[in-house]
Amino acid sequence: MKFFVDTADTQDIKALAKAGLIDGVTTNPTLIKKSGRDFRDVILEICALIDGPVSAEVTSLAADGMIKEGRTLAKLAPNVTVKLPLTVDGLAACRELSSSGIQTNVTLCFSANQALLAAKAGATFISPFVGRLDDIHIDGMSLIEDIRTIYDNYNLQTEILVASIRSPNHIKESALVGADVATAPPKVIWSLSEHPLTKSGLDTFMKDWAETGQAAV
């Protein structure tokens, strides 16, 4: 499974990329706002930091505006993926942009039917929001299972990009049901390496090594 980081903080992206932990980046208007920087400058910098897909979201609500924005965004860098909302206009824009060879990420997916429409529109990625479903007491991961089954039934090539991830458990469950990608905040990705038994074991090894009086090789 591929890991994308969900942030517009280029320092976090640099650190994760250096560690070899990420394959792409997702952004959205809220993350851009948090960065306090110009949208295009942020996207250009991120695209220079990582070779994988970098999702940049349109802000138009009408299909024509989305298509125009999408073509402009795609020209910023070859790894830009145009992020579109899962609306009728967003699906129309997805069809047009995808037909032109532009990568697309259809976002704000909350049902299997929506995911099926996105695949039919030629989306490169579909982004189901598991955390937001969990927030309203609907099992977000069951949606990923449904989408995986439907896509496999018809050999649909759209990649399932699990979004709104809140915990390491979301990532584990996404991997177990066969999601293609998980996008998560930096702190969640870093936390995947943590386990109390790993820490306690390492502490013991270091204590015992120190008692040997030997220097490091």
Could you say which of 14, 34, 75, 83 is catalytic?
83
Task: State the Rg of the chain over Cα.
Answer: 20
Answer yes or no: 83 catalytic. Answer: yes
Coil, strand, or helix at residue 73? helix
Residue 105's beta-bridge partner residues? 83, 125
Residues contacting 119, CB < 8 A, separation 6+: 126, 151, 156, 157, 158
**10 phi and psi, to 5 degrees?**
-70, -25
Phi, psi of 49 (to 5 degrees): -90, -25
DSSP-derived 3-state class of residue 124? coil
- At residue 59, the 3 state secondary structure works out as coil
Element (H, E) at 55: strand 54-57
Within 8 A by CB and 6+ apart from 121, the residues are 91, 92, 94, 95, 98, 106
How far is it, in rounded angstroms, from Cα 121 to Cα 206? Answer: 56
- The pair of three-digit structure tokens given for residue 133, joined into one six-digit string: 């479903």
Catalytic residues: 83
